[in-house]
Amino acid sequence: MKIVGLETIIFGVDDVAACSTFLTDYGLIPVGVTEAGGRFEALDGTAVVLAHTDDDSLPASIGNGCMMRKTVMGVADESTIEAIRVELSRDRDVRQLADGSIESTDDSGFVIGFQVTQRKAVNLSGEIANVPGSPFQRPVNHRAINTEAGPIRPRTLSHIVYFVPDPVKAEAFYVERLGFRCTDRFEGAGPFLQPAGTLDHHTHFLIGAPPFMKGVEHFTFHFGGPTEVMQNGSQFVEKGYQAFWGPGRHIFGSNWFWYFNSPFGCHIEMDADMDLHDHNWEPRTSPMGADASQAFLLRYREKWSPGKDTPHNGDYD
């Protein structure tokens, strides 16, 4: 099945205004936003959608404090929509919505939707490093850092991480019913999953957890490179938001990361430079742990400049 990846994540929240400010400060573009909610888009049109928790149009909450109400995946064409409808209708309700999309639930109870992707092409170069010996370099006189360039915008919706009571059952649904495949796996936690319509290392990661924890651990958008993650993350901290984990670089997927607390009952990440894999890739398995989770982890500190008070013994802490 030609599932391209995540299209929108829909949340029901109590404080629409605070969540709207948070997503705008993160870098997403408000589209049709009112006091009742609206869309917050990346450059390609993938988005987070907000509505008030009492909005009757939202799917029911799964409880556990989880504010996510629905995950919508984009697919390549109408024939994929029909194939998914036929497959899921074998053992569960599949609803046809007015906009032509379909809606159902996965085996963990999360509401999932599918629509023909509306992603827009993003024709912007990503980060290129000047590396001795490499044929790929920035053009001469091209600056890597431009602090006057305006706000940093996420490129596209990257992935979501679910806490699930039964990771084996949850994985089987996405692999056997929707054509995903495992690209890597943490023993004792769960798989990284890639749909057939993308080369991204993963769009979903499943973590086994007790039933009372069922929900979302984090979601994230891709940025244009590690510098954008560092620069946008630093600006986010300076606006008063609390970093949770990072910045650093993962091993599985290789993506740069920086996680933050959010008002959505889960974490939000900024990521960049994820590995791409085709069917020649052999999935790896590793025990879950700090050494397997990141290649390195950095610590944010306020900006600093050498001056007359600079110590001479190399101790800058």
Domain ranges of the chain: 3-119+154-297
Does the predicted TM-score (pTM) go above 0.85?
A: yes
* Torsion angle in degrees (nearest 10) through CA of 175, 84, 68, 227: 70
Q: What local confidence, expressed as pLDDT, does residue 70 receive? A: 98
Whether the per-residue pLDDT at 25 is higher than 90: the answer is: yes
Pairing of strands 3-13, 68-75: antiparallel
Beta strands per DSSP E along the chain: 3-13, 29-34, 37-41, 47-52, 68-75, 95-96, 102-105, 111-116, 156-164, 181-187, 190-194, 204-208, 215-222, 243-249, 256-261, 267-272, 284-287, 296-297
Sheet holding 215-222, edge to edge: 284-287, 181-187, 190-194, 204-208, 156-164, 215-222, 267-272, 256-261, 243-249, 296-297
**pLDDT band for position 313 (cuts 50, 70, 90):** low
Per-residue pLDDT averaged across 142-160, rounded?
91
Lowest mean pLDDT among 235-249, 262-276, 279-293, 297-311: 297-311
Q: What local confidence, expressed as pLDDT, does residue 315 receive? A: 60
d(CA 261, CA 20) in angstroms, rounded, equals: 15
Long-range pairs of 124-131 with CB within 8 A, sequence gap ≥ 24? 124/43, 124/155, 124/224, 125/224, 126/224, 126/225, 126/273, 127/224, 127/225, 127/226, 127/227, 127/228, 127/272, 127/273
Whether the per-residue pLDDT at 183 is higher than 70: the answer is: yes
Mean of the per-residue pLDDT values of the chain:
95
d(CA 205, CA 118) in angstroms, rounded, equals: 23
Asked if CATH classification 3.10.180.10 holds for the domain at 3-119+154-297, the reply, yes or no, is yes
Q: What local confidence, expressed as pLDDT, does residue 314 receive? A: 57
Percent of the chain residues topping a pLDDT of 70 = 97
Per-residue pLDDT averaged across 101-119, rounded?
98
Q: What local confidence, expressed as pLDDT, does residue 147 receive? A: 80
**pLDDT band for position 96 (cuts 50, 70, 90):** very high
